[in-house]
């Protein structure tokens, strides 16, 4: 009998009704493509995407996922890392599940990839860390809408070093069949203009491959820092696709949350 992790935030962070969810995601992707400042000619190996409710950060996330359209048929495995918001863990936690469910269907987990990293001391199994975690789940409907057939390696990242994250990424780096997705928002609950300044500084650090990224500047700072270490080793170049905050999308300017989308491509 399969161990299925059910959707935990459907109806909260994104629509629970399948047709509405599929429509909303496709609309966000179409808007991202039409609003692109330049043609989507990137070939991403890795993405950084936000993970708030779709009304707040969906448009920013879509700018990253829209870049996958030309290479979607090649991608067979997604390595997805996001921070833990509810359960503290040491290192990186696998869910111990066989599949994740969303309103758009079932995503099978990559058991071979999970086995490949299970010997690493920083990797553990914690169903509890994944049970209610939204940072990973909200990415799945986008991936299901863009990709044709893929397996998932979901990792909830807690207290870890950038080098520990990079070691896990290295083990499952793969080739063009493997996409790495880092789920992270930026600053939290700052006034609008302050957030713009702080988030721009964070974006510049990522573009210059400077780490560590502080947790008060990005809730997924640890997995981002790990990606930066890996990007330096593999000669990936980061590209900023979008940088906004909740004051630009669906919230007030008094206290905002920052969102950014990046694509990492082989350096030319």
The DSSP annotation for 45-64 comes to SEEEE--S-IIIIIHHHHHH
Q: What pLDDT does 267 receive? A: 85
The tokens of 23 are what? 């429509």
The encoded tokens of residue 267 equal: 């350096």
Whether residue 261 lies inside any domain: the answer is yes
Contact 260, 50 (CB under 8 A): yes
Total number of domains constituting the chain: 1
pLDDT of 255 above 70: yes
**Does a structural domain hold residue 55?**
yes
CATH code, 114: 3.40.830.10
Residue 16 maps to a domain: no
Provide the 3-class DSSP secondary structure of residue 231: helix
pLDDT in tens, 200-228: 999 999 999 999 999 999 999 999 999 99
| DSSP structure string for 111-171 | HHHHHHHTTSTTEEE-HHHHHT-HHHHTTHHHHHHH-SS-EEEEEEE-B--HHHHHHHHHH
| Residue 59, domain member (yes or no) | yes
pLDDT digits 0-9 by tens, 100-144: 999 999 999 999 999 999 999 999 999 999 999 999 999 999 999
Q: What is the domain range of residue 222?
A: 42-266
Question: What residues have CB less than 8 Å from 108, skipping those under 6 apart?
Answer: 98, 99, 151, 152
Residue 97 lies in a domain: yes
30 located within any domain: no
């Amino acid at each position: 009998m399969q161990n299925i992790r059910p959707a935990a935030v459907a109806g909260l962070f994104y629509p629970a009704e399948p047709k509405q969810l599929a429509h909303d995601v496709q609309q966000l992707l179409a808007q991202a493509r039409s609003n692109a400042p330049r043609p989507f000619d990137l070939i991403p190996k890795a993405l950084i995407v936000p993970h708030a409710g779709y009304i707040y950060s969906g448009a920013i996330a879509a700018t990253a996922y829209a870049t996958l359209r030309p290479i979607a048929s090649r991608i067979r495995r997604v390595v997805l890392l996001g921070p833990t918001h509810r359960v503290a863990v040491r290192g990186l936690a696998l869910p111990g599940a066989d599949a994740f469910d969303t309103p758009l269907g079932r995503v099978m987990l990559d058991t071979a990839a999970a086995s490949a990293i299970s010997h690493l001391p920083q990797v553990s199994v914690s169903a509890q860390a994944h049970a209610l975690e939204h940072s990973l789940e909200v990415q799945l409907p986008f991936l299901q809408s863009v990709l044709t057939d893929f397996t998932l390696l979901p990792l909830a990242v807690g207290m870890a070093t950038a080098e520990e994250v990079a070691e896990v990424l290295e083990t499952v780096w793969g080739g063009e069949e493997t996409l790495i997705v880092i789920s992270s928002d930026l600053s939290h609950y700052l006034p609008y203009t302050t957030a713009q300044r702080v988030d721009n500084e964070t974006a510049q650090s990522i573009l210059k491959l400077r780490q560590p990224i502080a947790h008060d500047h990005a809730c997924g700072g640890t997995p981002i820092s790990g990606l930066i270490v890996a990007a330096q080793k593999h000669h990936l170049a980061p590209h900023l696709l979008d940088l906004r905050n909740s004051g630009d999308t669906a919230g007030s300017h008094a206290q905002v949350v920052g969102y950014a989308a990046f694509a990492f491509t082989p350096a030319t």
